[in-house]
Amino acid sequence: MSGLSLAVRRQRIIAPPVSGQELVLLVVIAALWVVLGLTTPAFLTSDSIRPLFVQVAPIALIGVGMTFVIIAAGIDVSVGSSLMVCAVVAAKLLVDQGAAGPLAVLVSILLGALLGAVNGVLIAWGRVHPIIITFGTLNVFQWIGRQVFGSSTVNGIPGTFDVFGRGDAGSTLGIPHSFLLTLVIAALAWWYLRQTPGGRHYYAIGGDPVAADLAGVRVRRRVAAAYVLTGALVGLAAVFTIAAGTSTLDQSVGSGLELEVIAAVVIGGTSIVGGRGSVLGTLLGALLVQTVTSGVTQLGWPTQLSSFFVGVFVVIAVGADLVREHTRRRAA
Amino acid sequence: MTASPLPTNTTAGSGPQPPTPAERAPGLGARILRAVLTQREMLLVALIVIVLAYMSYESYAGYLTADYDVDYIAGAMIDLVPLAMLALAELVVIVSGRGGIDLSVGSIASLSGMVFGFAYGEWNWPLGLAIALAAVVGAALGAVNGLLVAYLGFPALIATLATYYAYSSIAIVIHDQKPISTTEIQQMYSLTRSVEIPGLGSVLPSIPLGVFTFLLPTVVVVWLALNRTTYGRRLYAIGTNDTAATWSGVHVARTRLTAYVVAGLVSGLVAVYITAQFASARPDAGTSGNGLALPAITIAVLGGVAITGGIGRVSGVVLAALLITWLDAGILLMFEGNEGTQAQLLALGAVLIFAALLNAYTTRRYGGTR
């Protein structure tokens, strides 16, 4: 190995800000938008794009937390159920107590963080595989949510959260507030994961938890914190979901959300076995998932067909990741 | 952990070990704790007895909405059949190791159920041929999972998550979101009727027919395959350590692929049973609510299957399936209306977390393979 290539390698200790997968995703999303714009003229109008960004906000936001979890080689399949719990509690606060907006938002975020803490503590200290624990809490949270629902739906939700909604009150210069807030949080998380020791610890844990522990990383605390963060973001996403919906909240809220979020993270190039990934990729992955979902609806195809395409995209994205990993191993 | 067929765990057996002079003989309490933790079948039998006794007492005292008697317990086994079969499918896949798990069993059941519905209900194929087709479709869908996991190196979690998406979507779109319930399909309901056991009809209650036509053959075949064939030995070997298995001449990828094919095939058979049970081939048969994969995985974990692979037995899984079935049946009677189905969610989740924590603790304390 010559000195020159060694010097080149030294600059690459931190990954480049935009990875190959993210560039590919940008191209795929752009291509989809052009194709959808040509086949259904209504797609590229602001009436269609703005709802897309409102709907992508919860997926991308939870995806940010899920990126931390998956980089640390974990997974959280309970986010759909915890979103249901947060949403119904926030909605009941607004309807029954007439609570002020900020209070309801705060309660929702804290409740989400609490549910996340249950996952985090059980996973970090119980030393059980995260999918088993979160599969279990998925059911427990679902039960809690339905107990709070009592009757079948919550009706007459006031417009307290309209500032995050899809109406004119919910956007500035045509960009929905929920999406802007998601961008800000994602940017913070991106900076934290790339530039701070704490962020790098997550990559270390995902690479090899034992080695990270020996190197002085407080593995359990970091792992638990990732689930708490995800929970808190679920709480905020619940507010976005209420704001984007009608004045009625039914029990199906959040069902299947965990699949969309995990798909977004994985499509974004985060390795499911941990140690690699970025928040930027997750944002693009969420955008791709939502574009597919909206596109299928706008083309007049059965809604359920969108999950077929999402599944195919997941296989392609993970396959590309495996190929990259393989070539890198061979090069090393 | 239950006694494993592998030497790594022989120290976890309950047999008396020669005491070394330096060690004091463990007290009675410690011995009981060890027996309860390491003999999963004993624990499950004890829990089943407790559940049955408690529910019978509640029933006797009149707290339940209906009688929890012998006939009800036997009738509840109609739900045991799909749960136990899918849990056995998960057993085979999880034992195969390297993070093996199959989230797509429910959607495979939906899709092969729809194919079965077409074949038997609309194209009027003979019943045997239609069942064979459902099994073949299930095996083919399982083979897709197996190829992704065993040959292409996909993590099982994400591969089966993606195929869960894809299969359930196809199952719903294939017949315009409508179930298939032609006369032929509706008449299949008779396949799930309860029958008397010949000669014992006066002693034992009537048992649902599916237990004999679907569940028992599956249990016997899976047990024989895992415990009496070379394939079973290979499966436990790759689940424990696939590098070691490779060096001892096992074709790891092919063995692992077969595990996913078996899981798909069993799901295809479950599809036929569910179609008969509901008298209709429903596009969301295996995915409605929380789907069938979750209870199946819960039962497998409760039955002592280690999520890390290489450990797990048929007897534990069957006992765990019985426990969950009779617990669920009892919970249903404890509440009015749909409160019962909600409480079942809580019970399933709590049992899964409890069983997983118990497995992890047992492995750390007595198994030491972690």
DSSP annotation of B203 reads T
Helix (H) or strand (E) holding B316: helix B314-334
Q: Do A318 and B162 touch (CB under 8 A)?
A: yes
Which of A126, A147, A77, A195 has its CA nearest to residue B360? A126
Residues 6+ apart with CB under 8 A from A67: A189, A193, A265, A268, A270, A277, A278, A279, A281, A282
- Chain B, residues 295-324, CB within 8 A of chain A, namely 297-298, 301, 307-308
* Of B101, B152, B356, Cβ closest to residue A128: B356
Q: Do B352 and A308 touch (CB under 8 A)?
A: no
Q: Do B301 and A146 touch (CB under 8 A)?
A: no
Phi, psi dihedrals of residue A287, rounded to the nearest 5°: -60, -40
Q: Do A304 and B294 touch (CB under 8 A)?
A: no
- The Cα A291–Cα A315 span in angstroms is 17
- The Cα B238–Cα B306 span in angstroms is 14
Q: Is B353 on the interface with A (CB under 8 A)?
A: yes
What pTM was estimated for this model as a whole? Answer: 0.84
Residue of B161, B331, B351 to mutate, interface with A, max A Cβ within 10 Å: B161
The whole-angstrom distance between B169's CA and the closest CA on chain A is 5
The whole-angstrom distance between B195's CA and the closest CA on chain A is 35
Between chain A and chain B, how many beta carbons pairs sit less than 8 Å apart?
132
Q: Is B339 on the interface with A (CB under 8 A)?
A: no
* Of B154, B173, B353, Cβ closest to residue A133: B353
Q: pLDDT digit string (tens) for A72-127? A: 989 998 999 999 999 999 988 888 887 788 898 999 999 999 999 999 999 998 87
DSSP string, A114-166: HHHHHHHHHHHHH---HHHHHHHHHHHHHHHHHHHH-SSEE----GGGGGGSS
- The Cα B57–Cα B74 span in angstroms is 17
Residue of B nearest to A302 (CA): B173
The whole-angstrom distance between B170's CA and the closest CA on chain A is 7
ipTM: 0.80
Residues 6+ apart with CB under 8 A from A96: none
Residues 6+ apart with CB under 8 A from A276: A71, A203, A206, A269, A270
**Residue pair B301/B180 in contact by the 8 Å Cβ criterion:** no
Q: Do B346 and A318 touch (CB under 8 A)?
A: no
User: What are A's interface residues with B at a Cβ cutoff of 8 A?
Assistant: 75, 122, 126-129, 131-133, 135-140, 142-143, 146-147, 259, 262-263, 266, 272-273, 302, 304-308, 310-312, 314-315, 318-319, 322
Q: What is the residue-level pLDDT of chain B in tens, covering all 370 positions?
A: 344 444 444 344 444 555 554 456 677 888 777 777 777 888 888 889 998 998 888 888 877 777 888 888 888 888 899 999 999 999 999 999 888 999 899 999 999 999 999 998 888 888 889 999 999 999 999 999 999 999 998 989 889 989 998 998 899 888 888 888 887 777 777 776 777 666 666 667 778 888 888 888 999 999 999 999 999 999 999 999 989 999 998 999 999 999 999 999 999 999 999 888 888 888 887 776 667 888 898 899 888 888 888 888 999 999 999 999 999 888 888 887 677 778 888 888 888 888 888 888 887 777 633 3
CB atoms within 10 A of CB A54: 24
> Considering Cα of B35, then B41, then B43, then B46, what sign does the dihedral take?
negative
**A300 vs A64, more confident:** A64
CB atoms within 10 A of CB B198: 6
The whole-angstrom distance between A6's CA and the closest CA on chain B is 31
Q: Which residues of A touch B173 (CB under 8 A)?
A: 302, 304-305, 308
Torsion from C-alpha of B266, B39, B232, B215, nearest 10 degrees: -20
The whole-angstrom distance between B154's CA and the closest CA on chain A is 7
Residue of B167, B175, B307, B352 to mutate, interface with A, max A Cβ within 10 Å: B352
